[in-house]
Amino acid sequence: MTETDVKIVAKRPLGFTDRTTHYCPGCTHGVAHRLIAEVLEEMGELNNTIGVAPVGCAVFAYNYFNFDFVEAAHGRAPAMATGIKRTLPTKTLFTYQGDGDLASMGMGEIVAAASRGEHITVIFINNTNYGMTGGQMAPTTLPGQKTSSCPHGRDVETQGYPIRTAELLATLDGAAFVARRSLHDARSIRMAKRAIRTAFEVQKQGLGFSMVELLSICPTNWGMNAIDSRQWLVDRMLPYYPVGDYKISTAVSEMKIGGN
């Protein structure tokens, strides 16, 4: 018999439990979870991390990650993360928030945390609707987009315009790293992972507030299959929410990231 070299090309991240997620088929929450787990594993931070779960579809995120977690009130995750970080400054803190949670209910908390340069990392899932409550209009819902609370399409005359969160937070001096990525294809997902790594490195190196906005799909509430949803993201979301680095502070631009 000849010996064959065995190379592991994919494995379950060490930061995951063995539970199956409750997320809908095609949903990108699972992808986002995996990227976070992989990055924390590569950084050796799994045992030093405390996550803050939101109110929304990811309310049970702590069932899938195996490190310490707390569960915030709707929108208050950045405040809760601040409270933990200021009490245990050596811990790595991240919040995982959706668009209703972060950009509507919690806009005060996120802007304040970013402006303070709070040493936390925010993973922001933008799927243009309130997922858990059944697909209502969110601050991120696109003009004309139909949701269960704007069934005729978002009318900007009466319901206003979507919020571009990454661009908004990038104006704050305390924000060290703010980026938007997308989860619609493999290349985008690899880029998203690099941004998430950078965001956590910013925190670890004490450079300030970091946030990665992730454009995500919601096939169930959008009423499409996963493939059509990905195409809708490309056609409709990317033009309104371009991916890119919206804030890289001088210190972050000079930051060195260890190999993995």
Partner 1 sequence: MALELIKGNIAIAEAALRAGLVSYFGYPITPQTELLEHLSVRMPELGRGFVQAESELGAINMVYGAACTGLRTMTSSSSPGISLMQEGLSYISGTELPAVIVDVVRGGPGLGNIAPSQADYTQLVHGGGHGEYHLIVLAPASVQEAVDLTGLAFDLAEKYRMVVCLLLDGSLGQMMEPVELPEFKPLRTTPPAYAVGSPDSKGQVVLTSINIDPPTQERFNVKMMTRWQEVEKNEVRYKGYYLEDAEYVVIGYGTAGRIALSAVREAREQGLKIGLLRPISLSPFPAKAVDELADKVKGFLVVEMSNGQMLEDIISITARRIPVEFYGRMGGMVPYPDEIANAIERLVQGEHIVNTDARGKWLADMRELVGTGE
Residues that bind partner 1 (CB under 8 A): 17, 50, 52-53, 59, 62, 66-73, 76, 79-89, 91, 108-109, 111-112, 116
Token pair, residue 57, equals 């579809």
Q: Between residues 32 and 50, which has the closer beta carbon with respect to partner 1?
A: 50
Contact 174, 117 (CB under 8 A): yes
> How far is residue 242's CA from residue 260's CA, in Å, rounded to a whole number?
28
Which amino acid makes up residue 46? L
Token pair, residue 219, equals 């096939």
Residue 168, phi then psi, degrees to nearest 5: -65, -50
Strands (E), 75-133: 92-98, 121-126, 129-130
Cβ-count burial 171-191 (b if 16+ within 10 Å, e if not): ebebbbbbbbbbbbeeebbeb
> CB neighbours of 172 closer than 8 A, spacing ≥ 6?
111, 114, 115, 209
> How far is residue 163's CA from residue 199's CA, in Å, rounded to a whole number?
22
Q: State the nearest-atom distance from the C-beta of 141 to partner 1, in Å.
A: 24
Q: State the nearest-atom distance from the C-beta of 75 to partner 1, in Å.
A: 9
Q: Between residues 69 and 240, which has the closer beta carbon with respect to partner 1?
A: 69
Q: Between residues 62 and 177, which has the closer beta carbon with respect to partner 1?
A: 62
> How far is residue 125's CA from residue 214's CA, in Å, rounded to a whole number?
5
Token pair, residue 146, equals 């139909």
Q: Between residues 52 and 142, which has the closer beta carbon with respect to partner 1?
A: 52
Q: State the nearest-atom distance from the C-beta of 78 to partner 1, in Å.
A: 8
Q: State the nearest-atom distance from the C-beta of 20 to partner 1, in Å.
A: 17
Q: Between residues 62 and 232, which has the closer beta carbon with respect to partner 1?
A: 62
Q: State the nearest-atom distance from the C-beta of 104 to partner 1, in Å.
A: 14
Q: Between residues 76 and 247, which has the closer beta carbon with respect to partner 1?
A: 76
Q: Between residues 30 and 83, which has the closer beta carbon with respect to partner 1?
A: 83
> How far is residue 240's CA from residue 255's CA, in Å, rounded to a whole number?
30
Token pair, residue 214, equals 């992730």
Q: State the nearest-atom distance from the C-beta of 175 to partner 1, in Å.
A: 15
Q: State the nearest-atom distance from the C-beta of 225 to partner 1, in Å.
A: 28
